[in-house]
A and B are shown apart, each in its own frame.
Chain A
Amino acid sequence: MGVRRWVERWPLYRQLTGTDPLGRGAAAKSARSLTLTARTDTADSVARSVCPYCAVGCGQRVYVADGQVTQIEGDPDSPISRGRLCPKGAASKSLVTSPLRQTTVRYRRPYGTEWEDLDLDTAMNMIADRVLAARDETWEDRDDEGRPLNRTLGISSLGGATLDNEENYLIKKLFTAMGALQIENQARI
């Protein structure tokens, strides 16, 4: 940076030579103010999304920079929400970037008093083992009159009302195929 341009950035210089003799406006702009931009303008990408809280289905725009969510706000294009969000929807960035989010698998062994760490692959295999074992132990082939039952009542599941349709579809499909009937979600509650 040349000396002249550096001097021109000096607020007092601008105040004395410019249109803002009281130094309350144009001349008082700091370096930060001069270069300030909206971070939505400099985002690497924007995803069109939908609020995860209630069922109104407000449109959201999710701004991303360097692989991180930098802003989530209402999508003005949505004919449902017209760009608006309630406090929960407006807190979506804090939701997805919350420091309280769990990002690793945690395991509590039977009779354990503390959490332990567990590798995700190991956890998946352990869960598969337990599902198959529970299914075998509680399998019901036929009722008293010989009519088919094809089921296990040893496995339960609850959840799905904040999940995607595609996820619910696979959940129901897999559980049905394994004979697990007791599949429920918030809609029952």
Chain B
Amino acid sequence: MPHANALYGPLDPAPDAGYENPPPRMGFFTDTSVCIGCKACEVACKEWNGVPESGLDLLGMSYDNTGALTANSWRHVAFVEQPRSVGWATPAFQEQPDGPSVSPLTAAVGARTGTDTGTDPGLTPGSPGAAARMSGGPEFLGMPGGQPPGRGSGAEGRTDFRWLMMSDVCKHCTHAACLDVCPTGSLFRTEFGTVVVQEDICNGCGYCISACPYGVIDQRKDDGRAWKCTLCYDRLGAGMTPACAQACPTESIQYGELDELRERAAARVAKLHEHGVPEARLYGHDPNDGVGGDGAFFLLLDEPEVYGLPPDPIVTTRDLPAMWKRAGLAALTMAVATAVAFLGGRP
């Protein structure tokens, strides 16, 4: 029988998905405090998974020209320029003759450049206000005024600065709404507890896209199917590390058994707190959160919204049992559809 927490609450997802004696749940811990924004993860992912080009546009979102997680970008490095200092560093522009920060303004301009990828994954593009708040940080006080440049005494100018970078990826939720709503059985839970789209099954219905609380999964314009990070399912089967984590020069992306990663992450946060970085916090690590914890979780240096992450994601199918009848019907339809597809596919 399904686990009582099959749709919400703490759960080890692989046994729940029918795997007897599965391997430990595997995942990513992305420590943004050591990310250098090199984008090796984006490239290594594309090389291994054959992900196509996602556009040749200068977005003006700091050094981010990828824009969002999409069907054609399964890793996305976000860059956030902020007029505040990171805990470990001396203020970057102390005593420089500069005016107020322009980071919120440029972020707002950049936000308008978000590319149309077919569906609307990630944060809704074209939301300048949100982008400006992200760059301003929690103390955002509105758009900068027209301060005459370089003519002030410097005292009123920006002194603090930090450049946050984060490699975002599919969260491989414990309770994956994309999987729950998939009518074809294309999305499935692997024995490693990860969530994978099966490209030979997906029929491009698109239900998963609106279901994802993080806006990760996306349809590819030319083939209509849904695509996202597989946590390199094929590599995991061969005992290898996912391509992004293998490439990551600074161990910002760490791959391993989720339980061990959670311990490591807690220790890292404690160490950063000890070393004067009180802003360090974890995101997506908690099995009691709205998605039952993420298989890919993060150490952040600011509020999640600053990185374009939802502050309190909740699995969109939490209320599924209440709608069981409808769902049951859908499941039957799904079963028939799958059977038909399967029969049609017989050689």
Contacts and interface: CB of A to CB of B under 8 A. Distances in A.
A and B in contact, CB less than 8 Å: yes
Interface string B191-229: 100001011110000000000000000000000000000
A10 interface: yes
Interface in A101-118: none
Interface string A17-33: 01111111111111111
Contacts of B248: 84
Contact of A40 (B16, B185, B199, B238): B238
Interface in A1-38: 6, 10-12, 15, 18-33, 36-38
B174 to A, nearest CB: 12
Interface residues of A, number: 42
Interface stretch (A71-79, A150-158, A160-168): A71-79
B143 interface: no
A85 B44 CA distance: 8
A36 B233 contact: yes
A24 B180 contact: yes
B247 interface: yes
B9 to A, nearest CB: 16
Given A33-B196, A74-B247, A84-B249, A38 B19 contact: no
B14 interface: yes
Interface of B: 1-2, 6, 13-14, 16-20, 38-40, 42-44, 47-48, 179-180, 185-186, 188-191, 196, 198-201, 233-235, 237-238, 240, 243, 246-249, 331, 334-335, 338-339, 342, 345-346
B340 to A, nearest CB: 11
B40 A90 contact: yes
15 contacts: A12-B342, A29-B198, A31-B345, A33-B198, A36-B233, A73-B44, A73-B47, A73-B247, A84-B247, A85-B40, A86-B40, A86-B249, A89-B40, A90-B40, A90-B44
A41 interface: yes
A70 B342 CA distance: 31
A87 B345 CA distance: 39
Contact of A25 (B190, B237, B240, B346): B190
A25 B189 contact: yes
B47 A93 contact: yes
Interface string A159-179: 000000000000000000000
A39 B20 CA distance: 27
B199 A32 contact: yes
Contact of B19 (A19, A72, A88): A19
Contacts of A6: 346
A88 B6 CA distance: 42
A128 interface: no
A84 B253 CA distance: 11
A91 interface: yes
A90 B43 contact: yes
Contact of A10 (B39, B234, B342): B342
A23 B346 CA distance: 21
Contact of B185 (A11, A84, A91): A11
Given A30-B186, A73-B243, 18 more contacts: A11-B185, A12-B335, A19-B19, A23-B331, A25-B16, A27-B18, A29-B188, A30-B201, A32-B198, A33-B190, A33-B196, A33-B198, A38-B237, A73-B246, A74-B247, A84-B248, A85-B247, A91-B43
